[in-house]
Amino acid sequence: MQRDFLIVGGGVVGMAVAYGLARAGQRVSVLDESDDALRASRGNAGLTWMQGKGAGMPRYGELSLDSCLAWPDFAAELAARTGVDIQHECHGGVDLCFDADEAEVRCNEYTALQGASPRLASDFRWQYLEREALLTHLPGLGESVHGGTWSPHDGHCNPLYLLRALYAACQMLGVEIRPATPVNEVRALGAGFSARTAMGSVAAERIVIAAGLGARTLAPVLGLSGAVRPVRGQMLITERRPIVPQLPTPQIRQTASGGYLIGDSHEDAGLDKGVTLEMLQVLAEKAVRIYPALRDARLVRAWGALRVMTPDGYPLYEESTLHPGAYNLNCHSGITLAALHAGALSQSLLDDRLGRDYPQFSGARFDVQAY
Ligand SMILES: Cc1cc2nc3c(=O)[nH]c(=O)nc-3n(C[C@H](O)[C@H](O)[C@H](O)COP(=O)(O)OP(=O)(O)OC[C@H]3O[C@@H](n4cnc5c(N)ncnc54)[C@H](O)[C@@H]3O)c2cc1C
């Protein structure tokens, strides 16, 4: 098979781009590792979230907003193609504040962000709501919560169904997906690129490294940035409870099946994706503070997963200057950005415009400055 694109990494970033490219008629192969790999896409909170994005880099806020706005059509399109309902809901979301200082910092941040971007000044809608005003959005909210920022752009989905839908859609579009095929080495050829695996080499005209933390070793070989590090998050889920019409929050959300998904921890734990009793206790106590009715809820499962974090927290979207046609795609909000990745970002790859469309996101920003 003559391939246009070879994608290394079958997480939500690689699969969203594979889908976008295949939908445009490209011949695409995806190589992925096996079930024991580090995979943020299978352990995350499933938020499609605008709030908190872009402080220090307004363009990131704009992209996050674009993606959130594109999400309803993206979810509907995937459902129509595959029959998989991703359980995407976008009726707004609330980022909670536990005291007045936190509220002030948050409001100042969003105001500054809007001051730095005319687009966000007109299109990013948000409002700080005191606890009493939040009760209509979050019935049952605990008395010790100060308030929170509400935004209509925020939502949530089932991230595992998202991945399932992307795999199904890609297969329908003829994408060759090779699971349990770790890439040991990537190389630039005279024309095109190749990836060496235990089952032989695979070649294509262009190559996309979408390998999450795997980019640390693969990307630099092609002159791309490997500047990503793991940041652990621990998650808890309760037994199924009757559905309450509460908006999602980054701290806790009720899933479509009734379980409450809890967890907003950020830890530097190296490559350890385990859980600790200490952190699970912190998360459970916070959940009960937010919704006291959960005091009696049984916890049914806990897990840890590793975020893929760049030094400044913004995405890496870059083409190699050393080897044009080799790309590196990495971000820590791959669920939120999935609609963008399948849409505008894939189009930039097709049009050979990635560097021009996303200049702020090159790995060159992490290079040590020469004096
Ligand atoms: C606890 C937690 C909560 C989160 N919550 C949210 C949220 O609510 N909303 C949101 O938008 N984002 C969230 N995220 C972030 C989101 O999960 C990630 O941004 C996203 O999953 C990154 O996807 P990825 O495809 O880049 O990485 P991964 O999911 O890590 O996938 C990379 C893939 O590359 C493969 N790979 C690596 N090396 C190789 C190799 N050598 N050969 C072949 N394959 C290779 C791996 O096997 C893996 O399948 C959260 C993350 C965590 C950990």
Q: Where do the structural domains in the chain lie, given as residue ranges?
A: 5-45+159-228+312-366, 93-152, 229-309
Cβ proximity of 365 and 312 under 8 Å: yes
The pLDDT value given to residue 38 = 85
Q: Which residues pair with 299 in a beta bridge?
A: 238
**Closest ligand 1 atom to the C-alpha of 46?**
8
Residue 134 to residue 94: CA distance in whole angstroms: 9
Distance from the alpha carbon of residue 307 to the mean position of ligand 1, in angstroms = 7
pLDDT at 289: 97
Give the ligand 1 atom nearest the CA of 232: 53
The dihedrals phi and psi of 229, each to the nearest 5 degrees, come to -135, 155
Q: How far is the CA of 341 from the centre of ligand 1 (A)?
A: 14
State which ligand 1 atom lies nearest to the alpha carbon of 305.
Answer: 53
Q: Which of 32, 154, 266 to mutate to test the pocket of ligand 1 (most atoms within 8 A of CB)?
A: 32
Indicate the top mutation candidate among 49, 67, 309, 333 to test ligand 1's pocket, ranked by most ligand atoms within 8 A of CB. Answer: 333
Query: How far, in Å, from the CA of 126 to the mean position of ligand 1?
Result: 28
CA distance 7 to 270: 26
Residue 1 is predicted with a pLDDT of: 64
User: Which ligand 1 atom sits nearest the alpha carbon of residue 197?
Assistant: 42
| Range 229-309 has CATH code 3.30.9.10 | yes
Which residue out of 335, 337, 341, 361 has the highest number of ligand 1 atoms within 8 Å of its CB and is therefore the one to mutate? Answer: 335
Tell me, what's the pLDDT at 370?
45
Instruction: Give the distance (Å) from ligand 1 centre to CA of residue 368.
Output: 27
- Give the pLDDT of residue 173: 98
The burial of 335, by beta-carbon neighbours within 10 Å (0-12 exposed, 13-18 middle, 19 or more buried), is given as buried
Distance, CA 49 to ligand 1 centroid (Å)?
16
> 12: CA distance to ligand 1 center in Å?
6
- CATH number of this structure's domain 5-45+159-228+312-366: 3.50.50.60
Strands 155-156 and 259-262: unpaired
∠ CA 105-109-112, rounded to 5°:
135
- The atom of ligand 1 lying closest to the CA of 39 is 30
User: What are the structure tokens assigned to 356, written together?
Assistant: 């021009």
In this structure, the residue with its CA closest to atom 13 of ligand 1 is 333
Q: Which residues line ligand 1 (CB under 6 A)?
A: 8-14, 31-33, 37-41, 43-47, 49, 182-183, 210-212, 214, 218, 233, 235, 305-308, 330-336
How far, in Å, are 42, 142, 263, 363 from residue 86 at the CA level? 14, 30, 21, 32
Residue listed under structure tokens 């999400």: 71
Q: Whose CA is nearest to atom 9 of ligand 1?
A: 47
Please identify every stretch of the chain with a pLDDT value under 50, giving residue numbers as ranges: 370-371
The two three-digit tokens of residue 104, written as one number? 């002030």
What is the spatial distance between Cα 96 and Cα 119, in angstroms, rounded to a whole number?
25
Q: Which residue's alpha carbon is nearest to atom 30 within ligand 1?
A: 39
Ligand 1 atom 35 nearest Cα: 9
> Which residue in this structure is represented by tokens 């975020």?
307
| Nearest Cα residue to atom 22 of ligand 1 | 334
Helix 100-116, helix 58-82: angle, nearest 10 = 90
What is the H or E stretch that residue 329 is in? strand 326-330
175-196: b or e for each residue (b if 16 or more CB lie within 10 Å)? Answer: bbbeeebbbeebebeeebbbbe
Pocket test for ligand 1, best of 17, 39, 249 (most atoms within 8 A of CB): 39
